[in-house]
Amino acid sequence: MTTEKTVKNPQTLSELFNLAKENLKAKGLERQVPSASNYQASSQLQRKLLDAIFMESRYLEPVAPDTGLTLFGVKMKTPTFCTALSKPGHLSDEEMVDLVRGMGKSGSMMILGIGGSELLQSAIDTGAPVVKMVKPYRTTDLIYEKVNDAAKRGCVAVGMDIDHFYGGFRDGSGRQTDTYAPKKTDEIRQAISATKLPFIIKGILSIEDAKKAVEMGASAVMVSNHGWGAFDFGVPSIVALPKVAKAVGGQVTVLADSGFRTGNDVFKALALGAKGVGFATSIVMAASAGGAEGIEQFIGFITAELKRTMAICGCPDLSAIDRSLLVASPEVREWW
């Protein structure tokens, strides 16, 4: 690992992110959280809605919470994971592998996005559980190649970003539309049937897509609007999540990402039907703060807050977290 260990024992998420900004600035990089692009309409509303949900306390029902769960056959210490992440430009391959190592040491899970077989193998070799998220490549054979490669190398699951059918959209223009393309239902079904690994359909924001994912044979769906990168006015995850969970939660594992920032955010997502919650930008920042050690600190902060809130709300384990513990402020009652 070539990154200098400049971690100064941050005690809060803010301190951790400030340290990351200092380290990035020293490299000549100025990174905002989240990155500035388009209107960020979905991200802004996601934050507003999350901040308008409160939790009822159960102080007279003391418990010792357990934040562990099993996901895709892997025992995890926390319901948080790194959602589909392609190697950021400012991180070397070695630093990216160290990021994955930190996820494993945290008792969490890593989902890798764009990247070659060498990086995938190096990530798996850290011992962390790794999921490969395959993009909807215009060349369908490349999808099968990536799925088969993931299985051969030891991934615990695979998936596809259906919200990347039309490439990215930043600063007023579309990108990579020559590389990615919409996939017909039969094409995705064939990709799912081509592997014995659990298959995740990522980018679900409607009951209709959720039901189709189940029909195609998916093992899990991820409620995600890809932050601001794919569709700036996609439904915020926190709005789509309870509808999707109600519709298909009894048939497949429901995960969520996009715009979650804290342990309390994780609690709210779990209460609305998610089994696990993904982070990406925050994890990149944590890695920038201190590599694997920074990742451990970040996951530790998130999980500790979640555990404390579970204790306050009388939840001995994750299965005890449900919507009855949530109270919405008057300004969001119509959505609620």
Instruction: Give the chain's largest Cα–Cα span.
Output: 59
The 8-class DSSP code of residue 317 comes to B
Report CA Rg, the chain. Answer: 19
Tens digit of each residue's pLDDT (9 = 90 or more) over 173-216:
556 667 888 899 999 999 999 999 999 999 999 999 999 999 99
If you average pLDDT over residues 77-104, what whole number do you get?
Answer: 94
Amino acid at 198: P
Burial of 9 (0-12, 13-18, 19+ CB in 10 A): exposed
Homologous superfamily of the 22-332 domain (CATH): Aldolase class I (3.20.20.70)
Tens digit of each residue's pLDDT (9 = 90 or more) over 287-335:
999 999 999 999 999 999 999 999 999 999 999 999 999 999 987 777 7
Q: How many CB atoms lie within 10 A of CB 210?
A: 26
pLDDT at position 34 is 45
Q: Give yes or no for residue 4 having a pLDDT over 60.
A: no
**Average pLDDT of the chain to the nearest whole number:** 89
Q: How far is CA 33 from CA 47, 80, 231, 261, in A?
A: 13, 19, 18, 11
Q: Give yes or no for residue 102 having a pLDDT over 50.
A: yes
Amino acid at 271: A
pLDDT at position 76 is 98
Lowest mean pLDDT among 48-52, 230-234, 291-295: 230-234
**Separation of alpha carbons 249 and 274, rounded Å:** 8
Helix runs in 134-236, H state only: 140-153, 185-193, 207-216
* Contact of 297 with 10, CB cutoff 8 Å: yes
* Contact of 240 with 268, CB cutoff 8 Å: no
